[in-house]
Amino acid sequence: MTIENKLRSIMLGAAIFAASNIASANEAKIATPKEIASVTGRNDNATNVSKKDQEDWYQQKKLINTNQTKVLIELVLGKPSYCNIGLDGFPQKYNLPADKRTLDGKLEKAEWIVNLSETNPANTFYFPCDRKAEAPKPTTPTPITPEPTTEEKLPFLLFSPGASYLQIFTAEDETYGFGGNLQGGSLSLTVQPNFTNWYWGGRILGYYGSGSNSVDLNAPATEGPLAGQLVMRGKNDYSLEQFGIGLGSMAGYMIPFDKKEPWGIGLELEHGIMRDLTTRKFGESSAQYINGNLVEGTNISNNSDDTDTAFSGYATFGLRLKLGPVCLIPAGGFRTDFSNVDGMFSAGAAYCPNKE
């Protein structure tokens, strides 16, 4: 081998060694508890921090403390004793270049954590660290098998819309032919943060019931000169309509049967107010007869309407049976206006996304 060829081989080897060392030095690793504590201490004790940056850090700290993400660390090339710290695949709120954020074990710029105690703008994203460049890795390429990801992380808040059938058991009214049943439905929406099994929500509901009755009149006169001959004949018509609306709020706790939560059972409590609007109508139509003959000028017609409003509070206890992405929700309870108590029952379904 000539001297020229030897020099070329030495230079090529040095280049491979340097490239390998740079790649190794800049490779993201999982941060140690000590390094995480150092970052937490710096950002918790930073002063003169904007409210926006402080809120960003509180959100990142919550993700770290609840073990929802990996904290990665890597050396900063050209800045000895400085490291980048970031959350693998979790976007931040501050304005950064639109780098793609993926759960790939690497640190994109958009995943870096801001060093709130750093006053030099050039070091905004850098934290002091004592890591050193590792020994060069073999130059022989080894296939890298990416970690399988079955699905993307869900949003921070999980929304669960639902609909239910509603039955209210009120008092009967024989005069108006009302059986006491009010039927209707409701629409609900619950919100659950993806780091807890608690959820909260609200409901809007409506219901309706009606009845009618007709009573025939046949009343003979019992006094006077026409007793036994004069008879009043006719009909009384009664009708009732009851319509109501309500608003409620609920809180519940979902108990998963396994980690991925395709199955589970939730316990929830709901309370709210209802407003009833009841309209009663009465109509009378009658005439007088003597010995079966209509007496002229004696036709009687009378009509009247009566509307009243009532408010009541209600409370129900329900179950949320999670069957994959669908929840079945039976519930029972009562309502009261502090003078009467009515039973309530509802049954419905809701969309229930998994937390993972």
Q: From the first residue on, what is the mean pLDDT of each consecutive set of 10 residues in the chain (356 residues)?
A: 45 39 62 91 89 86 88 88 88 60 82 89 87 58 60 72 96 90 95 88 95 86 77 88 96 78 86 95 86 74 88 95 90 94 95 79
97-105, long-range: CB within 8 Å, 24+ apart, which pairs? Answer: 103/147, 103/149, 103/153, 104/146, 104/147, 105/28, 105/70, 105/72, 105/147
CATH architecture observed for domain 157-218+231-351? Beta Barrel (2.40)
Quick one: pLDDT at residue 224?
76
DSSP state of 122: G
CA distances 335 to 129, 274, 339, Å, are: 63, 8, 11
CA–CA dist 211, 76 (Å, integer)? 80
Paired strand residues for 328: 321, 349
Quick one: pLDDT at residue 229?
78
CA–CA dist 81, 78 (Å, integer)? 10
Question: What are 324's two structure tokens?
Answer: 């994959």
Task: Report which secondary-structure segment, H or E, holds 182.
Answer: strand 181-193
Q: How many CA atoms lie within 13 A of 98 on its CB side?
A: 0
* Exposure string over 212-246, b if 16+ CB within 10 A, otherwise e: eeeeeeeeeeeeeeeeeebbbbbebebbbbbbbeb
CA–CA dist 20, 138 (Å, integer)? 8
Quick one: pLDDT at residue 27?
79
Domain locations along the chain: 3-128, 157-218+231-351
CA–CA dist 124, 116 (Å, integer)? 8
Quick one: pLDDT at residue 21?
39
Helix runs in the chain, H state only: 3-25, 33-44, 51-65
CA–CA dist 253, 322 (Å, integer)? 12
- pTM here is 0.53
Quick one: pLDDT at residue 111?
85
Quick one: pLDDT at residue 260?
60
Quick one: pLDDT at residue 327?
92
* Exposure string over 157-186, b if 16+ CB within 10 A, otherwise e: ebebebebebebbbeebeebebeeebebeb
- CB burial of residue 334 (10 Å; 0-12, 13-18, 19+): middle
Paired strand residues for 312: 274
